[in-house]
């Protein structure tokens, strides 16, 4: 008989709807959870404290792991916050969130570990504090993260995010149906963010103007989402993608999927996340979803997820 875990924790993936890269420089961004994919952590009694990342075939001895190991880092942060010693636990982590694809896999795994540990300890922690711990681990993954991944996966609600300010969950008036298509090309956030920073340092005025444009689009998108004006989001997504391309963070694979989605009837399409690969998103109506999904697969998408951002309280 399989052993039952002492505790379980999980967390969703995430997508950025508007504002990637510019959010690092103080402009607003909109992000939402992707509940169709999740990271999970199960805790079992053991003699020492270990983390087993099943999908990565990794086993980490927390007491002896280096400081930059993200799994051990999250365990230590939770123990320090609760003023507890390392527990004799085997923490088994699994995830169906694609890695390095802009879906917040690293933040979701950290959040899942944190939630499982809190349950096993019988402890409570405000969402803001858990999000702050996950953010510390995000620094290992991304260098200078915006803070948006940890915020969305911990709060599990669409949020309006401005770096340095508390996240603001906001009203979604009507369902937003999206397709998320994976290029199959890894998209390490740290590299893309670093390249944009170097380009900004070399041509600050041009990139500040691009960031301003992205911020303006995010503000218009929030107003449209709150008003239920879903058709307005398509052109805003296309405009956001144009600015991201001008930043140099799109790619031939992303461009091909975006073009295929638009030609098949999507109302708008853009990359989501760091770019240079990873995922793109397409805004579709119910009548367009099957056709656009087929077009994305024909254009080379290795995976297409369908997700809906619902008004609060709707399933």
User: What's the pLDDT tens digit per position in 220-240?
Assistant: 999 999 999 999 999 999 999
What percent of the chain is modeled with pLDDT above 90?
Answer: 77
pLDDT value at position 169? 82
Q: Does residue 203 carry a catalytic annotation?
A: no
How many angstroms from the chain centroid is the CA of residue 117? 22
Q: Is pLDDT at 314 greater than 60 in this prediction? A: no
Per-residue pLDDT band for 312 (boundaries 50, 70, 90) equals low
Distance separating alpha carbons of residues 5 and 44, to the nearest angstrom: 5
Kindly report the average pLDDT of the chain as a whole number: 93
User: What's the pLDDT tens digit per position in 294-305?
Assistant: 999 999 999 999
Domains along the sequence of the chain with CATH: 7-169 (3.30.230.10), 176-309 (3.30.70.890)
Q: Which residues is 282 bridged to in the sheet?
A: 179, 269
User: What's the pLDDT tens digit per position in 237-262?
Assistant: 999 999 999 999 999 999 999 999 99
pLDDT value at position 258? 98
Per-residue pLDDT band for 315 (boundaries 50, 70, 90) equals very low
Q: Under a CB-based contact definition with an 8 Å cutoff, are residues 208 and 277 in contact?
A: no
**Sheet strands (E) in the chain:** 7-18, 29-45, 50-53, 58-61, 89-95, 159-161, 168-169, 176-182, 268-272, 279-283, 303-309
**Could you give the angle at the alpha carbon of 77 between the alpha carbons of 72 and 82, nearest 5°?**
130
Residue-wise over 108-142: b if at least 16 C-beta within 10 A, else e?
A: bbbbbbbbbbbbbbeeebeeeebbbbbbbbbebbb
Which among 42, 149, 182, 288 is annotated as catalytic? Answer: 149
Distance separating alpha carbons of residues 279 and 180, to the nearest angstrom: 6
Distance separating alpha carbons of residues 207 and 68, to the nearest angstrom: 31
pLDDT value at position 273? 87
Q: Is pLDDT at 173 greater than 60 in this prediction? A: yes
Distance separating alpha carbons of residues 240 and 234, to the nearest angstrom: 10
Q: Is pLDDT at 65 greater than 60 in this prediction? A: yes
Region 42-66 average pLDDT? 95
Which of 142 and 272 is assigned the larger pLDDT?
272
Q: Is pLDDT at 35 greater than 80 in this prediction? A: yes
pLDDT value at position 167? 82
What percent of the chain is modeled with pLDDT above 70?
Answer: 97
Region 44-57 average pLDDT? 95
User: What's the pLDDT tens digit per position in 140-168?
Assistant: 876 777 788 898 899 988 899 998 888 88
Per-residue pLDDT band for 200 (boundaries 50, 70, 90) equals very high
């Amino acid at each position: 008989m399989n052993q039952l875990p002492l505790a379980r924790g999980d967390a969703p993936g995430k997508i950025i709807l508007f504002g990637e890269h510019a959010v690092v420089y103080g402009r607003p961004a909109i992000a939402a959870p992707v509940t169709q994919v999740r990271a999970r952590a199960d805790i079992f009694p053991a003699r020492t404290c270990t983390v087993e990342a099943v999908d990565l075939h990794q086993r980490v001895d927390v007491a002896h792991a280096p400081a930059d190991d993200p799994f051990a880092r999250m365990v230590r942060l939770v123990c320090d916050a609760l003023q507890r010693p390392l527990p004799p636990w085997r923490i088994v982590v699994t995830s169906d969130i694609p890695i390095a694809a802009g879906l917040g896999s690293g933040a979701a795994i950290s959040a899942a570990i944190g939630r499982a540990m809190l349950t096993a300890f019988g402890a409570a922690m405000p969402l803001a504090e858990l999000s702050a711990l996950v953010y510390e681990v995000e620094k290992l993954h991304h260098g200078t993260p915006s803070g948006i991944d940890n915020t969305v996966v911990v709060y599990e609600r669409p949020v309006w995010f401005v770096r340095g300010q508390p996240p603001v969950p906001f009203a979604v008036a009507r369902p937003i149906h999206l397709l998320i298509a994976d290029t199959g090309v890894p998209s390490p956030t740290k590299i893309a963010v670093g390249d944009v920073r170097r380009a900004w340092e070399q041509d600050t005025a041009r990139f500040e103007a691009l960031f301003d444009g992205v911020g303006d689009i995010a503000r218009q998108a929030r107003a449209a989402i709150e008003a239920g004006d879903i058709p307005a989001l398509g052109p805003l997504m296309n405009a956001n993608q144009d600015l991201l391309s001008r930043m140099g963070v799109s790619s031939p694979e992303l461009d091909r999927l975006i073009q295929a989605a638009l030609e098949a009837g999507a109302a708008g399409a853009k990359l989501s996340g760091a770019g240079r690969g990873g995922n793109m998103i397409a805004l579709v109506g119910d009548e367009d979803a099957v056709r656009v999904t087929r077009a994305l697969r024909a254009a080379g998408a290795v995976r297409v997820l369908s997700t809906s951002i619902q008004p609060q309280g709707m399933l």
